[in-house]
Chain A
């Protein structure tokens, strides 16, 4: 069965960076993507970005494009989201999800709390 496991909670200072990992296991194809979304306290879900793990293509929301870097290691099926120049507005629960298509999240990780 598919499992999506994220790295643990992070506490960061303003101006620093955070890197969250997302490991996929149990998925039989090597062609898939990872969508990243976040939810700030009291707010709704916001899409952060997407990476095609197979070829490395990425896309991200315009408001974060200058600060977010999405990467993935095909050998380990681990994806990473790095967010720079953190502010208190970046405090949120960050989720990754396996995306068989870019359009949605098929399997979600447990979430990683990033506190700035």
Chain B
């Protein structure tokens, strides 16, 4: 089945650590395909945060980190800041779809 499942929302207080989960299937993450993470701030274009499971593009703070295991992946943010409020999407390749597949996104609220 071609799906990446993300919880609809997470929240945390400034300074805390939050994690975002992304659960895939045997046709995407379970098949060994990389996961990538994007941040979408309202009114702005999405921004690549993590690529190839764990790598940060230049300019992305090391507060952001990624991990992957079997059919699951996670994005972690440490030292949470108000400006981190956004929707976070995971994305991978899916063999059944034969193309890129996005999760539904998780909205982060900084309390």
Contacts and interface: CB of A to CB of B under 8 A. Distances in A.
Interface size class of A (residues with CB under 8 A): 20 to 34
A104 B100 contact: yes
Interface of B: 33-34, 36, 38, 45-48, 51-52, 57, 89, 91, 93, 97-105
A37 to B, nearest CB: 7
Given A61-B97, A104-B100, A106-B57, A44 B36 contact: no
Contacts of A60: 99
A52 B91 CA distance: 20
A105 interface: yes
A47 B101 CA distance: 7
Q: Looking at chain A's contact residues, is the secondary structure mostly helix, strand, loop, or mixed?
A: strand
Contacts of B89: 45
Contacts of A95: 45-46
Contacts, number: 56
A56 B105 CA distance: 32
Given A35-B100, A44-B102, A61-B99, A104 B46 contact: no
A59 interface: yes
Contact of A104 (B36, B97, B104): B36
Given A61-B97, A95-B45, A95-B46, A106 B102 contact: no
B24 to A, nearest CB: 14
17 contacts: A35-B100, A37-B102, A44-B105, A46-B102, A47-B97, A47-B100, A59-B98, A61-B97, A62-B98, A95-B45, A104-B34, A104-B48, A104-B100, A106-B48, A108-B48, A109-B45, A111-B45
